Amino acid sequence: MPDLSTDTGGIRSPNPFWLASAPPANSGAQIQRAFDAGWGGAVWKTLGTPIQNVSSRFGGHTIGSVRGAGFNNIELITDRPLEVNLREITETKKRWPHNPIIVSLMVETREEWRDIIKRSIDAGADGLELNFGCPHGMCERGMGSAVGQEPAVNERITSWACEFSTVPVLVKLTPNVSDIVPHGMAAKRGGAHGISLINTIKSIIAVDIDRFVPEPRVGSLSTNGGYCGAAVKPIALHMVAALAREPGFGLPISGIGGVRNWRDAVEFMLLGSSTVQVCTEVMLRGYRVVEDMRDGLEEYMRSKGFGRVQDMVGKAVPAFSEWGDLDMNYETVARIDADRCIGCQLCVAACHDGAHQCIHPQEGTRVPRVDESECVGCNLCQIVCPAPGCITMERVDNGHRPATWNDHVSHGAALRPKKGAH
Amino acid sequence: MPARFPAERSETAFTDYKLPLLPAQAAVEAGRCLFCHDAPCITACPTHIDIPQFIRKIAGGNDRGAARTIFESNILGMSCARVCPVEVLCVGACVYNDLDEPPIQIGKLQRHATDRAFEEGWRFFEAGAPTGRRVALVGGGPASLAAAHELRRLGHACTMYERRGFLGGLNTTGIAPHKMKADRSVNEAEWVLAIGGVEMRTGAEVGRDVALADLEREFDAVFVGIGLGADSRAKAPGEDLPGVLGAVEWIERMKLGDAGLSGVRHAVVVGAGNTAMDALRELLALGVPQVTMLYRGTEETMGGYAHEWQAAKEAGARAEWRAVAGAFEGNGRLRRLRCMRVDAARAPVEGSEFALDADLALLAIGQSKLGAALAGLAGITVESGIVRVDAHGFTGRPGWYAGGDCANGGKEVVNAAAEGMAAARAIDRELAAGGGTGRRGATHA
């Protein structure tokens, strides 16, 4: 049986599924129920000087009939007294000694960091997560993403935390930057044992088109919130992979952003995450979503022959390359399996209006025809096709040797003739 | 003008067989639509409603736009949503059928948008600028209503002749009440004619009260949509006994008044077309304990839709296949049918006689054709009682058009709507080109 246990920067966990620092990890009672349901670890909702929240706080992005495909919030860090949180951390650790509690922290001054780190560790924290990510409310007070967007500040505060801490320190990064790498490197220079990313993305989730006010609405006003949920996964995967492949980085990564199920988790792991953190899916459906995450991961590892989670972490990172290194002479064309085609002709509309006008209706049949001499192999038809296995992208042997753009520029490697460029 | 039907009609006992979608259900169902290119459902619809487009509008919360799309192609889209055999039209053509997924419930989505249009009183169309041309519409059923509406959009003055005191034709008197009730059809006709400019002559039967020749003198064009006539008779002894009725006649009685089923223990429906299917289900729903269909062919050759027969069977109908009624017997009232089996060539099988005790027999073996009324007009061809027309409803006599059951032999409401619309456009083209009946002095044979 595959071993699901993980080690992220020295934080050991019975499985790679952690609750992210967020409403589902707001209290001891919640986190204990989550551990009951099978979660491996939990990042306690950020401690600091307790704040006061507004109502409402959340906004949902419904796509078709899928509610909450994207999600945002304008909630701040914990609003509970510090003593209560610390007491509950201790109680929870007593009952669940093998499930790591990582305490998320956000304060301002060096003294405050020293004090809260000591108290968190005294309460039983197995690790700390520095919240340098929150893109609303706290950043306007000089914390959260205001720290994460400034590598020098990030490095300085990380170094304080590492100086004061006796447990591993993770730095949680904000995606609200043009390039994540300098920020990950700053955390590393500050001495972090690992990083968590991504925090939420600065966003306006929707506009109330009757009231002319963005959402979520607080009276007659709204503000920007942090975007998360399934819709942000592609952004998160890219940022995780960008750090994972960065030479000289090498820190463990706890991946966050749109993990709904085991498959999403596997993708994060293959791009370099040793654990994943989940918030939105739990907010939408509750703690018991973890059962399939664990089962599914275990089945996947069994099917691929991975004995330990670490065996698969980063497995797809080498294949994440630069555009200039892609083989320009690799050629595919779309093929339609007439037996599987249901005649919807979505491919015709997509190719005609959105691609290179190479899929055409035919007389006497609903099955369209691909003009392979014009097909650029873009994939659009395959993406829109609702019939499983109907459209495949087939490799064409065009007789040209592999050649990248970089090869072409540096030493004139021959590229195949362009298709569809007329 | 609208007839007020009695509140206590037999048809009011029926509830909808296909339940309407709740708004949330409509949104989910609409969201499933693939938005096919050159969609097969559009081709399958006789009125070619842009189905993917109206469904997309429902999915996006634009019910008003959806209704406009539907009515643009079929002004009778509200009743068609309820009465169309979608299983063999749009829904039957949905590509999901080939994907082993449930097809989109197009009829229910159309009902969602069009019912809403009725409830909210949405109107989308206005009469066109007057052309000074006058068109007569003979008959007040779906074909004439669709034609009149389109003619008014094109600016032609219309006069509609309807022999009854109410509009809607068979859509009012013949639709199975688990699909739609009579008053809704009448309301729809009023909604259609609210475009204005259609002069009504109800209670006027052309040929009896108004001469066809007079129409030709008064109007630039004539559209004939007179439907079908009385139920065909079985030509068997005893069919004049009380208790033996035409099915269309009985259905109308049930819809507009009392079905007269008191004391009926066993009803036999002769025939297996869609009128028979409706009658079977209606008799069972109204509490007749035993209902039998008598048909000279087999399940494979029956004219009724398979889905309708399935529903009738589920409701409790049974069938006597390859059987015909030889005689209707009873002392002053039907008590028994003398029946016999027939072979594949429909020849009686010797020694196969059997009797069915029954107190009601409905003859659903067709309706008479009324085309003969036009047979005297040069240029118009009537074959087996059906008026021959081209794809645009043109009869061959300048200015004369026909559509609906009198020209297609008896099809669906949606066919009548399509034919009325097509004829209206053809009339407009003919008049624009200087043609027509010659009211203004143009000469023709």
The position carrying tokens 């035919």 is A362
Residue B325 has pLDDT above 90, yes or no: yes
Give contacts of A 28-87 with B, CB under 8 A.
64-65
pLDDT value of position B102: 97
pLDDT value of position A143: 84
Which of 3.40.50.450, 1.20.210.10, 3.50.50.60, 3.40.50.80 is the CATH number of B134-227+370-432? Answer: 3.50.50.60
Reduced to 3 states (helix: H, G, I; strand: E, B; else coil), residue A145 is helix
Q: Is the CATH code 3.50.50.60 the one for domain B231-363?
A: yes
pLDDT value of position A140: 82
Where in chain A do CATH 3.30.70.20 domains reside?
Answer: 323-411
Among B37, B50, B97, most A C-beta atoms within 10 A, so best to mutate, is B37
Span A292-308, average pLDDT: 97
Calculate the CA A323 to chain-centre distance.
Answer: 22
pLDDT tens figures, B166-185? 999 999 999 999 999 999 99
What is the CATH code of the structural domain delimited by A323-411? 3.30.70.20
pLDDT value of position B205: 87
pLDDT value of position A144: 84
Span B261-280, average pLDDT: 97
pLDDT value of position A136: 82
CB B284 within 8 A of CB B309: no
ipTM score of the complex? 0.84
pLDDT tens figures, A29-77? 999 999 999 999 999 999 999 999 999 999 999 988 789 999 999 999 9
Taking an 8 Å cut-off on Cβ atoms, the answer to whether B34 and A348 are in contact is no
Closest CA to B241 of B327, B324, B332: B332
Residue A1 has pLDDT above 90, yes or no: no
Residue B4 has pLDDT above 80, yes or no: no
pLDDT tens figures, B110-139? 999 999 999 999 999 999 999 999 999 999
Asked if the domains B134-227+370-432 and B231-363 are classified in one and the same CATH topology, the answer is yes
CATH architecture of the domain formed by B18-120: Orthogonal Bundle (1.10)
Set of chain A residues whose Cβ sits within 8 Å of the Cβ of B28: 65
Helices (H), A191-258: 233-244
Taking the Cβ of residue A284 and every Cβ of chain B, the question of whether any pair is shorter than 8 Å is answered with: no
Reduced to 3 states (helix: H, G, I; strand: E, B; else coil), residue A381 is helix
Reduced to 3 states (helix: H, G, I; strand: E, B; else coil), residue A95 is helix
Taking an 8 Å cut-off on Cβ atoms, the answer to whether B99 and A387 are in contact is yes
Report chain B residues touching chain A, CB-CB < 8 A.
Answer: 27-28, 31, 34-40, 59, 95-96, 98-99
pLDDT bracket for residue B445 (50, 70, 90): very low
Set of chain B residues whose Cβ sits within 8 Å of the Cβ of A383: none
The position carrying tokens 């089996």 is B341
The CATH homologous superfamily to which domain A6-319 belongs is Aldolase class I (3.20.20.70)
Span B339-344, average pLDDT: 96
Residues of A assigned a catalytic role: 134
pLDDT bracket for residue B7 (50, 70, 90): confident
The Cα–Cα gap between B265 and B284 comes to 11
Taking an 8 Å cut-off on Cβ atoms, the answer to whether A64 and B59 are in contact is yes
pLDDT value of position B441: 56
Of B37, B59, B99, the CB nearest to A342: B99
pLDDT value of position B206: 85
Q: What is the mean pLDDT of chain B?
A: 95
Supply the DSSP symbol for B130.
P
Taking the Cβ of residue A159 and every Cβ of chain B, the question of whether any pair is shorter than 8 Å is answered with: no
Set of chain A residues whose Cβ sits within 8 Å of the Cβ of B36: 343-346
pLDDT value of position B439: 77
Supply the DSSP symbol for B18.
S
Reduced to 3 states (helix: H, G, I; strand: E, B; else coil), residue B300 is coil
Reduced to 3 states (helix: H, G, I; strand: E, B; else coil), residue B329 is strand
Distance (Å) from the alpha carbon of B222 to chain A's nearest alpha carbon? 38
pLDDT value of position A125: 98
Where in chain A do CATH 3.20.20.70 domains reside?
Answer: 6-319
The Cα–Cα gap between B386 and B389 comes to 9
pLDDT tens figures, A204-238? 999 999 999 999 999 999 999 999 999 999 999 99
Distance (Å) from the alpha carbon of A65 to chain B's nearest alpha carbon? 6
pLDDT tens figures, B208-259? 888 888 899 999 999 999 999 999 999 999 999 999 999 999 999 999 999 9
State which residue of chain B sits closest to A351, comparing Cα positions. Answer: B37
Span B322-350, average pLDDT: 96
Instruction: Identify the residue with better confidence: B104 or B2.
Output: B104
Domain ranges across chain B? 18-120, 134-227+370-432, 231-363
Reduced to 3 states (helix: H, G, I; strand: E, B; else coil), residue B323 is strand
